[in-house]
Amino acid sequence: MFSKNGFSALFLLLVFISGLSFLASDGLLPGGHVSLPEVQLDIKGQPFSLQLAVNPEEQQLGLKGVSPEILSPGPQGERKGMLFVYPDSWILSFTMDDVDMPLDLLIVSSKGLLLHAETMQVKLKKTYTWPVPAKYALELPSGSIEYLNLQPGDVVIAREKMRELDARCQRH
């Protein structure tokens, strides 16, 4: 049988395991990322479910350390990715540090129009910078630019959705 110390150790182990399973089922993604709020967005008629990064910590982390499976299409066929919303238009820079898959980067104006799109490659020690201030950026699975046939000037974020996103950003 267990001694008093044995019961204490078993109890602590069970509490620890329960806490881990709670965290795994309540918001932690593989790679230790905390699940962020999601926003639904239609880009050229295609549904996307995007994690929303609105504060500097979330934006700095981006999709670093996230496994490619996280970006697999959802049950309704919606594509996945991350949407970065900034309080104002800025010169935006992105890197691929600790990212194990190529990503398509979309730089979007304060009017919701595509300014620039390019594929960021894995393991390149490169900073991807767009020299024109932008308010939004999206990281999508590689191949999204071609799949959506995106061109500069295309509407990426509808005006109504921009108001909702800006309101969410102001709360943070």
0.85 cut: is pTM over it? no
Which one is predicted more confidently, 36 or 7? 36
Which one is predicted more confidently, 97 or 134? 134
At 33 the pLDDT is 53
Question: What value does the mean pLDDT take over residues 82-104?
Answer: 92
At 82 the pLDDT is 95
Give the C-alpha distances (Å, rounded to integers) separating 53 from 26, 96, 148, 152.
18, 16, 23, 23
Split at pLDDT 50, 70, 90, the class of 22 is very low
